[in-house]
Amino acid sequence: MQNLTRRNFLKASGLGAALWGTGGMRSFAAEARRRVIVIGGGWGGATAAKYVRLTDPSIEVTLLEPSKEFISCPFSNLVLAGVESLKNLTLNYNGLRKHGVKIRHEAAAAIEPDKRRVRVGKDSLEYDRLIVSPGVDFQWEQIEGLAAAKDTVLHAWKAGPQTVQLAKQIQSMADGGVIVMTVPPVAYRCPPGPYERASMIAWYLKTKKPKSKLIVFDANKDIVSKTGLFKAVFKDYAANNDYRPAQKAEKIDIGAKEVTTDTGDKVKYDVVNVIPPQRAGAIAVEADLVGGDKRWCEVDHVTYESVKQKNIHVIGDATIGLPVPKSGNVANAMGKICATAVVSLLNGKEPPVIAPGNTCYSWVNDKEAIAVVNAYKIENGKVVQIEQKLTPGKSVAVAQNSLAWRASIWNDVLG
């Protein structure tokens, strides 16, 4: 895989020609002031806010994001093994401000679809189009004892303070200790993420604490992403990584420091990392944007408009109905496609039909990584996968390419 510049990324994802070909970087004729509000400043929301402004600077864009810093979940598993620092994964929102995006570091309290407005504190912000990129929330109640223990049992599935805390717990554990990690049932944020995490922790144990062991309880029947590649990697860590598929975490007892699975297995731990089952962010659930499963939001595959609420678009990990993974790259692609659609709709034009793309890297030790690239098309209004390419195995070259990729895509999101 070649190093990716911003232009190469757009070309590879299939977005470049479509955006440029539809006037993606030109300003539409100014009309009466139109307002777009974006909820959530992650990979999808930040991208959407930026690209609405790039595509039509006459549109007023307000981004609602409580955090003053963007912290990348991709690459955060490297922090757990002491290979990366959280500081290097932390960026600011100054680039969006330079594009004229108004940023309020506040949480959206509620969406009122019938009035086309969002409540923020004591304010009510009106919109013509709303883009919701709320990420995921956790279903704590799915594991007995977790809701009461969620402040002490770390998930580290939203990069930030918990990532640093978990790293400290792993690194301070005595050699000979046991780490228990759980993988939730699909769907969840970043399908290969738990297996990358298991690889990095197992590598750390093998090299730093060889008497220690990682036990992975996976609620799924098998590794759900890059299956063959991760199985090959796990063989390298057989002495330190006990991977147990089809075992769903059912109960956690922090007093006994014990995890119980649905098969009746009980394992004591020194360090525990429970990744809970997930659903769309709370505000999407409260605004009735989720489907019958009460977890994920169904959207139109061309515009990302909600099938339940008009003038509201949902992007990123919160969506359902797409054969694409819940990844940062996909959220970034959705943000650009959605921005183009929103600008087209606000200007009375037919939105262009653009398929997303996905590139995903997973590090498996301090120097090597594996990767997958997925290509899609829109067929009969639906996203369809047309090609998937996997790297032959782990390599230093793939890891180095991933660093070039992250610099390029971070710039695309926030630059």
CATH classification of the domain holding 178: 3.50.50.60
For residue 127, the SS3 value is: coil
- Give residue 322's pLDDT: 80
Q: Are residues 287 and 410 in the same domain?
A: yes
**The pLDDT value given to residue 62:** 98
Residue 1 belongs to a domain: no
**Does a structural domain hold residue 35?**
yes
First and final C-alpha spacing in the chain: 23
Reported in sequence order, the residue ranges of 207-304 that DSSP labels E, i.e. its strands, are 213-218, 241-244, 249-253, 258-261, 266-268, 271-274, 278-280, 297-298
The parent domain of residue 235 ranges over 140-274
Indicate if 170 and 263 belong to the same structural domain. Answer: yes
| Claim to verify: residue 13 and residue 133 sit in the same structural domain | yes
Largest Cα–Cα separation, the chain: 68
Quote the number of domains for the chain: 2
Residues of the chain with pLDDT under 70: 1-32
pLDDT value at residue 33: 85
**Structure tokens belonging to residue 234:** 């796990």
401 and 288 share one domain: yes
Beta strands 102-104 and 59-64 are: parallel
Domain edge (last residue) among 274, 300, 321: 274
Per-residue pLDDT of 19-43, as tens digits, reads 544 444 444 444 468 999 999 999 9
Concatenating the DSSP letter of every residue in 103-124 gives EE-S---EEEGGGTEEEETTEE
Do residue 220 and residue 256 come from a single domain?
Answer: yes
Report yes or no on 20 lying in a domain.
Answer: yes
pLDDT of the residue at 32: 65
Q: Same domain for 120 and 226?
A: no
62 and 167 share a domain? no
Same domain as 123, residue 246 = no
Query: What is the tens place of the pLDDT at every residue in 281-300?
Result: 999 999 999 998 999 999 99
Give me the pLDDT at residue 5, please.
38
